[in-house]
Structure 1
Amino acid sequence: MVTNLLVSGYRSFELGIFKEDDPKIAVIKKCLKEEIRLYIEEGVKWILTTGQFGVEQWTMEVVDELKQEYPDIKQGLIFPFLEFGSNWNEQNQGKLAKLKTLADFVESVSHQPYKDPSQLKNHQSFLLEHTQAALLVYDTESEGKTKWLYKAILAKQESIDYECRLIDFDQLQNTAIEE
């Protein structure tokens, strides 16, 4: 049974989204809400993200909305290293600080500031070890940074049962048409 769900996907800039009021965000959030709701109804208790711009931050906002309907759902914000986001501009640091208040659990896998890429790999391994499924806003025909996580999930699936659902561009397009 899936109790811990990892949610990730494209960064906002990879989708050409540079403003908070971009209509594409509403479509992505609607798809996320539908899929996360299904997972909750199937028994998910925790939603984990890493706080990256784009899908992960929108996920936190969606889960916060879903808490009205499912008050027992929890969300964790798991950073790869200490001081994650400290080099972001003031506005983005403010948004991250707000998202931290939405989380039920905030922690860093590495308790040191960024040193090298091994921290990112360890972070990815940690997330895959502590979840039973992933929901990715990702289309295999349009690679982005999420391709590394997707490849790690595929490798994990070779040895263990690990569910991965994709919200691809076709699903986003169909949702946009419905609106």
Structure 2
Amino acid sequence: MQNIWLTGYRNYELGIFKNDDVKIDIIKYALKQRLIAFIEDGGKWILSGPQLGVEQWAIESALELKKEYNDLKVGLLLPFANFGKQWQQEKQQKLLNLKEQVDYWANVSDNNYQGPKQLQNYQKFMLEHTQGSILLYDLEREGKSQYDYQVISAYQVQHADYALAMLTFDDLQEYAQDFAEKQNFA
């Protein structure tokens, strides 16, 4: 597997509203552990979207890993033109900063938002340009990520070799304990 799509919950779905919330550190730690396994297994590209929450944290985590893994490439794909233009200035600036740091970024649709079909086309694009996904999603706690889960699951019916690695709340709890232990030794 050379290319992976990383997505998951939005920040507000996880009750995270501040950039200094310790939950972000734990999520980024968990994402890094999963990404390291992907990279060390021959992975080359990490693709994610612009959504506030797991997608942006995934890109930040991947960019941090590039310091150790020079061959790693990070791509940021936006579902449509002017994505995030309604966001507060601080959040727009953060997205702009990420665009400047990644190896590649592009809009899947060059048009401004016109409807849900653009989001479906975005999902299709991500599936067709990756061999697997890491999805921070728990079946017991729905959120917007359920749509990605449903699309990935349906895609797997026709493409049995497409991999899906779920990162659940139980997994996060284990990573939180590991993270806390490492912090105590630092």
Normalising by the residue count of structure 1, what TM-score does the alignment of the two structures yield? 0.97
Q: Distance in 2 between matches of 1:55 and 1:81?
A: 19
Residue 68 in structure 1 maps to residue 67 in structure 2:
yes
Residue 163 in structure 1 maps to residue 163 in structure 2:
yes
| Residue 26 of structure 1: aligned partner | 25
Q: Distance in 2 between matches of 1:116 and 1:68?
A: 38
| Residue 116 of structure 2: aligned partner | 117
Q: Which amino acid aligns with 2:143?
A: G
| Residue 184 of structure 2: aligned partner | none
5 Å-filtered alignment, 1:49-128, equals 49-128=48-127
Q: Distance in 2 between matches of 1:67 and 1:176?
A: 23
Q: Which amino acid aligns with 1:176?
A: A
| Residue 10 of structure 1: aligned partner | 9
Q: Which amino acid aligns with 2:49?
A: T
Runs of 4+ in structure 1 off by over 4 angstroms are none
Q: Secondary structure at the match of 2:115?
A: coil
Q: Could you give the per-residue CA deviations for residues 52-111 of structure 1, whole angstroms, max 9, x where no partner exists?
A: 000111111111110011011011111001111111110110111111112111101111
* Structure 1 position 159, deviation (Å): 1.3
Q: Distance in 2 between matches of 1:143 and 1:175?
A: 21
Residue ranges of structure 2 left out of the alignment (5+ in a row):
181-186
Normalising by the residue count of structure 2, what TM-score does the alignment of the two structures yield? 0.94
* Structure 1 position 177, deviation (Å): 2.3
Residue 175 in structure 1 maps to residue 175 in structure 2:
yes
Residue ranges of structure 1 left out of the alignment (5+ in a row):
none
Q: Is the 8 A contact 1:138 1:166 kept in 2?
A: yes
Number of equivalent positions: 178
Q: Could you give the per-residue CA deviations for residues 133-155 of structure 1, whole angstroms, max 9, x where no partner exists?
A: 00011111101100001011111
CA RMSD, 1 decimal: 0.8
Q: Distance in 2 between matches of 1:102 and 1:137?
A: 23
Identity across the alignment (%): 47
Q: Secondary structure at the match of 1:151?
A: helix
